[in-house]
Amino acid sequence: MIRDRPAERTKIIRQRILVNGIVQGVGFRPFVFNLARQLQLSGFVTNTSQGVVIELQGQRTLIDEFVQRLQKDKPPLSEIISLQRTDIPLQDDGNFRIIASVDSADNQTLISPDIAICDDCLREMRDPSDRRYRYPFINCTNCGPRFTIIKRIPYDRPNTSMAEFAMCEACQAEYEDPTNRRFHAQPNACARCGPHVWLETVGDNKELAREQAAIELLARYLLDGKIVAIKGLGGFHLAVDATNEQAVQRLRRRKNREQKPLAVMAPDLAVVKKLVFLDAAEQELLTAPQRPIVLLKKKPHLPVAEAVAPANQRLGVMLPYTPLHYLIFDELQSRLPENKVPLLVMTSANRSEEPIVIDNEEARKRLFDIADYLLLHNRAILIRADDSVVARFAGQTVFIRRSRGYVPRPVFLNTQSKASVLAVGGELKNTVCFSKGGRAFLSQHIGDLENLLANQFFEETIEHFADILQTTPQRIICDLHPAYFSTQWAESQNYAPLVKVQHHHAHMAACMAEWQWDEPAIGVILDGTGYGYDGTIWGGEILAGDFTTLERLACFKPLPIPGGEAAIKEPWRMAVSYLLAAFGEALPELPFLKDKPIALIRQLLEKKLNSPLTSSCGRLFDAAAVISGGRQHIYYEAQATIEFTQAVRTIDVAPLQFEADLPYIPFEPIIRNLAELAVEGTPIALLAARFHVTMASLLEAVTLKAVQKTGLKTVVLSGGVFQNEILLKLLNAFLQKHNLKVLTHRQTPPNDGGISLGQCAIGLKLLLAGKEEVSFLDRVSGEV
C-alpha cells in the first residue's frame, strides 16, 4: 500500500476530522487540544452544531496516532458515534488552538445528560483550603448540569441558564485554560460570581438565611420533622427525615400520596448497605454518574419509617448527585449521634400526577400547603427532569422511568436517514420522541396527561426538543385512542401528516428499535390497557410482524370490565367478572365475596353498562391477586399485582390447570383451579407462586404455537406486565430453551414510557417506505 512507504508516512498533510456523538460539555476539546500539542500537530478544534470539528496538520503517522488515541483515551463522559476524516489543503497554523463555536442549521451534535458531581469536585468542596469550599454549585467538565440548563445548541454558556452569571477573574482563567479541568465547563462558577442558595418560609416568603447558614438551618428543621422543598438539578424535591414516621405520614397527607412508595436518599454506600441487599450490578447502577433511583430488596429491621414503602419488599434508594445534597448530608451527620445515620425521603415536589416544580415562583405558589420551608437558588432550571428509576430483574437492568441522567442520550436506529418524525406517546407515563439522523431522542418522563399542568409540560417538552434538535418533523405519530390528550394534540397540528399507531404494536416496535431489529418477529405484549383496532381494550396480545406490518395472532379471551375505570382501582370487580365467567351463577365461597354487591356487578355485565371488553393480562393478574386473598382496593397503579408477586417465596411449584388454545387464550381453567385452592385455604404465597409459573408456562405454550404458525424464531417481550420480575425471568428462560431469540427492553421502559420510541420507529419506517399506515391483519376476529 502507498501508505506503507516511509516517505508517505512522514509526509506532512492536513486533515479535517468531524467527530459526532456526546462530545460537547464533557471535556472533549481540552483533551483534543492537549493530545494535539503533545504530538506536535498544528490546527484547531471547535464546536459546531454538526459536532466537533478538528483540523490537524503534521506527519501522517502522527495524525493516525492522534485518531487512535482519541478513540481509545477520550474523556470518560464522552461518546464517539462517528468520525469522518477528509484530506484538505495545507495551511500555515503555527500551533494548535481552540476557536469559538460555529453555529449551523443542520444539528448533528448530541447533548450530554445531567451528570452527578465527580470525585474531584467533591474533594475540593470538602477541602477548607480550596476556594470553592462548601460551594453548592461546584462543577467541572466531568460533572454537573447539562440538559436541564440548555436553551439551544451549541452547548456554550450564552445558550444556558448560566448566561446571566459573569465569571470572576479566577473562574474566567480556568474557563480559558485548555489544561484546566474547568476549561469551557459552561456552568463554571464560584461563590464570588455564581448562583447562591437561601432558605425562606412558606406563605410570607421571608428569607431566613443564606449559603452555609441556610444549609445549617435546613438540617435543623429536617431533624425536627419539618418538610422542606429543595431546589435541585431537574426540579424540586420534597424532603423529610426518612426515619421519622410522623413526618413521613404528614408528607403523604399533604402530597395526596396515600401508599405509593417514596424514594430515600442515603449519604453513601455504607449506609445503603444497612438498608437493603446489594449485589455488584446494583451497586454499579447506584453509583453510576446518572445516579438513578434503584429499587432494592429491603433488609429486615431497617432504620426507615414504615410509611416510606408500606407493604413493599423493595425500597427505592439513590445516592446524592449534586454538591448541595452532599452539603446537606454533611450538616445532618454533624448533628446526629455516632450511632445514627441521616436518611431523607426525596420525592418529586408536586401533588400526585402533576409535573415536578422547577421555578422559584412556581414553588411558592404550588407548594405553599405542602412544604414548611423552601430551599431556593437562582440558577434557572430550563427543562423538568424527574429522577430516573431502575431495577435489576432477571439479571438485567429494567427501566421503570427513564429521565434525569439518561435523557437526551438517543437510541440509535438501524438507519442513517436524516428524515425526522415526532411521536407523542400515550396518556400514562407519557414521553415524546423525535427522530433525526437515524437516532431516536426519547424525552424525559412527562407523566400522566390527566391535568392542565401535565398538558403544558407535554407541549413545553415538544417545543424544547424541537429547538435543541433544530428539526421540523415530516410526520407526527400518535396512539389510536381518540380520547388521549396526546392524540388530540397531534390531530390539532397541521404542519405534518398524521399517522396513528396501535398501542401494542408501539410496545413491540420500541423493543425492536432498541435492538436495531428490522426482521419480522413474534410479540408477546402484555399490559393493562391499550386501544385496539376493533375499539375494545387490548392488553394480552400475541402479535407478529415488523415496523410496517402487523398480525394479531391471539389474545386472552376478552371479558367485560364492570364499572370501567373503577375496576382498575377496585380489582375485586375484575375478580368477580372472571369468577362469573368461569363458574357461572354458582360462585365459590371466597372470603372477599361476602360483603361485595355481586348482584350489582351481574346487572352491569348483563346490561353491558359501562363494562367494556378487555383482553388485558394486567387485569387477569389483578383478579388472581384478589381471588388468592390479596388486595381488593389499590392506591397506586398495579399495587395488587406488585404485592401478589412479592408474596412468592419459591418458583419450584407445579402450574395450575391451563389450556393453550388459539386465537382466544382461555382463562377459565386457571381461574377455577386457583379459586378452588383458595377456598381450601391454600396460603397466598403458594397460590401466587403457582399462578406465576402457570402464566409463564401458558405463554410459553402459546408462543410455541405462534412460532409453528409463522416460522418466526424471534420473540419480543414488552408491555408493563414485564416489569414483573418473576414472569420476565421464567418466560425468558422457557423460551430460550427452545433456541428462540428473545428481545427484552434494555434502554427504555417496557411500560408506556417507551411507546413513543415504538411510534417513532414505526413512523420513520413508514415514511421511508412511502406508506401512509401499517398493514394490519386480525387473525383473532377477522381482517381489518
Sign of CA pseudo-dihedral 444, 450, 452, 455: positive
C-alpha cell at 491: 390531530
Q: How many CB atoms lie within 10 A of CB 754?
A: 32
C-alpha cell at 560: 367485560
Q: What phi-psi label fits residue 48: left (phi over 0), alpha (psi between -120 and 50 degrees) or beta? A: beta
**Integer CA distances (angstroms), 126 to 197, 324, 473, in order:** 17, 12, 47
Q: Which of 47, 159, 350, 751 is catalytic?
A: 47
Q: How far apart are CA 132 and CA 759, in angstroms?
A: 47
29 is catalytic: yes
Q: How far apart are CA 117 and CA 230, in angstroms?
A: 17
Q: How far apart are CA 370 and CA 242, in angstroms?
A: 16
Torsion of CA 79, 85, 91, 93, to 10 degrees: 20
Q: How many CB atoms lie within 10 A of CB 77?
A: 20
Helix (H) or strand (E) holding 85: strand 79-88
C-alpha cell at 724: 414483573
Phi and psi at residue 697, to the nearest 5°: -70, -40
Strand segments, DSSP code E, in 413-520 are 421-423, 433-436, 439-442, 475-479, 498-501
- CB of 326 closer than 8 Å to CB of 320: yes
Q: How far apart are CA 391 and CA 397, in angstroms?
A: 6
Query: How many angstroms from the chain centroid is the CA of residue 154?
Result: 25
Burial string for 697-712 (b: 16+ CB within 10 Å, else e) reads: bbbbbbbbbbbebeeb
- CB of 502 closer than 8 Å to CB of 532: yes
| Those residues with Cβ within 8 angstroms of residue 4's Cβ, 6 or more apart along the chain or in another chain | none
Q: How far apart are CA 667 and CA 698, in angstroms?
A: 10
- CB of 678 closer than 8 Å to CB of 644: no
47 is catalytic: yes
Burial string for 638-672 (b: 16+ CB within 10 Å, else e) reads: bbbbbbbbbbbeeeebebbebebebbebbbbebbb
Helix (H, G, I), strand (E, B) or coil at 501: strand
- CB of 302 closer than 8 Å to CB of 271: no
- The residue among 551, 489, 478 whose CA lies nearest residue 520 is 551
DSSP string, 224-247: TT--EEEE-SSSEEEEEETT-HHH
Q: How far apart are CA 698 and CA 536, in angstroms?
A: 23
- CB of 531 closer than 8 Å to CB of 715: no
**Long-range contacts: 351-354, Cβ < 8 Å, 24+?**
351/255, 351/256, 352/255, 352/256, 352/257, 352/260, 353/447, 353/448, 353/450, 353/451, 353/454, 354/447, 354/451, 354/453, 354/454
- CB of 359 closer than 8 Å to CB of 453: no
- CB of 154 closer than 8 Å to CB of 101: yes
- Residues counted in the chain: 784
Q: Which of 14, 29, 379, 392 is catalytic?
A: 29
306: which DSSP letter?
A: G
Q: Annotated catalytic sites, by residue?
A: 29, 47
